[in-house]
Amino acid sequence: MNDTPLTSASARLSEREIERLKTAAALLRKAERPVRILRAVTWGPEVEPRFFESGGRELPQVSYQPLDAGQLRANNTPI
C-alpha cells in the first residue's frame, strides 16, 4: 500500500497548469454538448414494440446513422 499522503491539486500543480486544465475541461464540455448520446443510439419506433412483443429475450439488430463529427471539429479550439 502507498503511504504517501494525498495532497490537493493546488499543492502539486502550478497556478498556470491549473488554469490550463480548467480551460481544457471547459473546451471538452463545449465539444460534448452537441453530442446527444442517447438520442444517437435510440431504437427506431418500429424496433421497440417487436422487442417487447418477443419477450425481450434477444436484442434487436439495429443500424445507426454515423455521427457527423464535422460540427464538433468546427467548434474545436486549440489549447
Answer whether residue 71 is part of any domain.
Answer: no
Is 0.75 surpassed by the pTM of this model?
Answer: no
- Picking from 46, 38, 34, 36, the residue whose alpha carbon sits closest to that of residue 70 is 34
Largest CA distance in the chain: 59
Residue 76 falls inside a structural domain: no
pLDDT, block means (10 residues), the chain with 79 residues:
56 89 90 73 85 88 75 57
In a domain, 54, yes or no: yes
Domain assignment present for residue 7? The answer is no
Domain of 18 in residue numbering reads as: 13-66
The answer to whether residue 46 is domain-embedded is yes
4 found inside a domain:
no
Residue 3 lies in a domain: no
Counting the structural domains of the chain, the total is 1
